[in-house]
A and B are shown apart, each in its own frame.
Chain A
């Protein structure tokens, strides 16, 4: 089942080819592990060191004396429970808003086809072409005083939730997936007397699980990784996300505590990744260029 690549199987089958293959393989394996896991290893172990040991040169590879208490101290001193809780709250809220509003919009644009639907879709896709950073300033001014409703959203969760819906890429991904659902299936539901909402719930959504999974993961990870927007719009330390909170506390705690905090902050997204890696990787390649 191997597909042909640069190096021919005949070449690989020769003793010299086999030797070179395995040498290169082991080399790459070691180098990649060092380059990509090494920093994480350093982060975890440095979080275990005492301040004296952390500052020592040359650095110790394995902590001479492990202080797991650093993690508990960092947790308490930096109030990580609060920061993680905030981030989770924002992420789940953004997920809910995106799933409900973006799925509904994509379904409407794909299957209900309202008048001017293509214009609306086009206007949504245009936002993908405007560099996001250009919009940060006017977006910030907008949430300070939202027009018509005249609300200041700063320091409220809405400031994360509502703008997260304006994810044209998600809508596009979902619409393309819905487009691929055969018409007959929906027509059958309609003949059985199902309303559009019912059809969405009992026909479209169950088939769409893979794409919903991808969109959900990206929604949660997006909030978890965002930095500039929450830094601007959540200045209250009690309401900050883990990224912003750790950044603003970084200068005031010792290094070993800070590193312990970084490990704790990294765990949720790493766990999501390790659990959902197949979804993430397929979504990444499906959405990026076939789109």
Chain B
């Protein structure tokens, strides 16, 4: 019945020009194109409705929320007052300092560790399947499980980590309880939980490096470190920079790890991140306007990194 629908799909979209209605042949073509489009849009409608309700509408709503507030049960235009409110909130600056600290630490650990691990794994000619499986294992654990496990390991009393430190003669740490180490502890746990994905992506990139490049470097007398510097890193530069941007985008949005490990804010707010603060504004204080305003600030900042990411991935497509 609708057989021609597929074979004519190259036809231009229907343009209901006045001429189209006059000639019977054109009218048939128009009806054909209309039918083809109706079918095609029929396939799309479910997903488009879901996107409309749960993605696109909330995106627009986020923007309006940031400029509204509730007053005596009615929603009124608030202008920039939500923004001045959050800028004057000391927690705002603390949350940003913590988030930048988290992102910095997560880049030191979460970005470098998977790359080094991938470099090492790539050298082995045995057991690679098993090692890859190990590294990815924590990614599959439900976050409650991995986070509660780390909570026990970090316990200053009977925790495993202080036992290990004691065994090698190092002093006990307060881990999550101290303002100095709370954020680092969260980052260590987050790295363990999430490094699997990045490691596998690096491994795939490393396996794409042509071996001749290493041979050429050896003829020039390069050692391992120089080979990494002059061959491995330039060859994986694109993947590395994409992952760097992805890491920044992801870590700036960190929520679950600090929320579950330290109840959110941590000792004296040491692990209060921006998204924690959004959560607090919205769901502890019912202040949706401030939550949305803070969300927009985060959005604007992350947009820069997202734009860079998109540009880079375009380059990689070509």
* Known contacts A114-B41, A130-B299; A247/B260 CB under 8 A: yes
Stretch among B102-110, B141-149, B174-182 lining the A interface: B141-149
A207 within 8 Å of B (CB atoms): no
B28 within 8 Å of A (CB atoms): no
A33 within 8 Å of B (CB atoms): yes
B87 within 8 Å of A (CB atoms): no
Residue of A nearest to B306 (CB): A129
* Known contacts A108-B40, A112-B43, A193-B1; A55/B204 CB under 8 A: no
* Known contacts A5-B123, A8-B215, A137-B292; A265/B62 CB under 8 A: no
Chain B 287-307 against A: per-residue CB contact (8 Å), 1 yes, 0 no?
A: 010011001101100110010
Question: In angstroms, how far is the closest chain A Cβ from the Cβ of B306?
Answer: 4
B148 and A258 within 8 A (CB): yes
Residue of A nearest to B34 (CB): A115
Q: Which residues of A contact B48 (CB under 8 A)?
A: 105, 120
Chain B 267-283 against A: per-residue CB contact (8 Å), 1 yes, 0 no?
A: 00000000100110011
B3 and A191 within 8 A (CB): yes
A288 within 8 Å of B (CB atoms): yes
Partner pick for A196 among B5, B153, B204, B205, CB 8 A cutoff:
B5
Residue of B nearest to A40 (CB): B137
| Chain B binding surface, main DSSP class | helix
* Known contacts A3-B207, A7-B224, A162-B54; A269/B137 CB under 8 A: no
Q: Which residues of B contact A7 (CB under 8 A)?
A: 123, 224
Q: In whole angstroms, how far apart are the Cα atoms of A25 and B121 in the complex?
A: 9
| Chain A binding surface, main DSSP class | helix
A117 within 8 Å of B (CB atoms): yes
Question: In angstroms, how far is the closest chain B Cβ from the Cβ of A250?
Answer: 7
Chain A contributes a number of interface residues (CB within 8 A of B) equal to 109
Stretch among A64-72, A140-148, A208-216 lining the B interface: A140-148
A224 and B142 within 8 A (CB): yes
Question: In angstroms, how far is the closest chain A Cβ from the Cβ of B188?
Answer: 11
A147 and B57 within 8 A (CB): yes
How many A-B contacts if CB must be within 8 Å?
298
A29 within 8 Å of B (CB atoms): yes
Q: In whole angstroms, how far apart are the Cα atoms of A36 and B282 in the complex?
A: 36
Q: In whole angstroms, how far apart are the Cα atoms of A165 and B40 in the complex?
A: 18
B201 and A289 within 8 A (CB): yes
Stretch among B18-26, B76-84, B89-97, B251-259 lining the A interface: B251-259
A77 within 8 Å of B (CB atoms): no
Q: In whole angstroms, how far apart are the Cα atoms of A224 and B139 in the complex?
A: 12
Question: In angstroms, how far is the closest chain A Cβ from the Cβ of B229?
Answer: 11
Q: Which of B46, B47, B58, B126 has the most CB of A within 10 A?
A: B47
B2 and A195 within 8 A (CB): yes
Residue of A nearest to B7 (CB): A190
Q: Which residues of B contact A6 (CB under 8 A)?
A: 119, 122-123, 214, 224, 227-228, 232
A137 and B278 within 8 A (CB): yes
Question: In angstroms, how far is the closest chain B Cβ from the Cβ of A107?
Answer: 6
Q: In whole angstroms, how far apart are the Cα atoms of A193 and B302 in the complex?
A: 49
A281 and B142 within 8 A (CB): no
A115 and B47 within 8 A (CB): no
Q: Which of B4, B58, B125 has the most CB of A within 10 A?
A: B58
Q: Which residues of B contact A147 (CB under 8 A)?
A: 53, 57
* Known contacts A133-B298, A163-B50, A284-B197; A107/B43 CB under 8 A: yes
A23 within 8 Å of B (CB atoms): no
Q: In whole angstroms, how far apart are the Cα atoms of A38 and B45 in the complex?
A: 48
A273 and B140 within 8 A (CB): yes
B36 and A112 within 8 A (CB): yes
B292 and A273 within 8 A (CB): no
Q: Which residues of A contact B135 (CB under 8 A)?
A: 32, 36
A139 and B288 within 8 A (CB): no
Partner pick for B157 among A57, A140, A289, CB 8 A cutoff:
A57
11 contacts between A and B (CB under 8 A): A5-B211, A6-B214, A59-B163, A111-B6, A114-B44, A138-B59, A146-B53, A165-B51, A259-B148, A266-B145, A273-B137
Q: Interface residues, chain B, CB within 8 Å of chain A? A: 1-7, 9, 13-14, 36-37, 39-41, 43-44, 46-48, 50-51, 53-59, 61-62, 65, 119-127, 130-138, 140-146, 148-149, 152-153, 157-158, 160, 163, 192, 197, 200-201, 204-207, 210-212, 214-215, 218, 224, 227-228, 232, 239, 242, 249, 252-253, 255-256, 259-260, 275, 278-279, 282-283, 288, 291-292, 295-296, 298-299, 302-303, 306, 310, 313, 316
Task: A7-B123, A111-B6, A163-B50 are known; give 9 further A-B pairs, CB within 8 A.
Answer: A32-B134, A109-B44, A123-B56, A195-B1, A243-B142, A243-B144, A266-B145, A280-B136, A284-B201
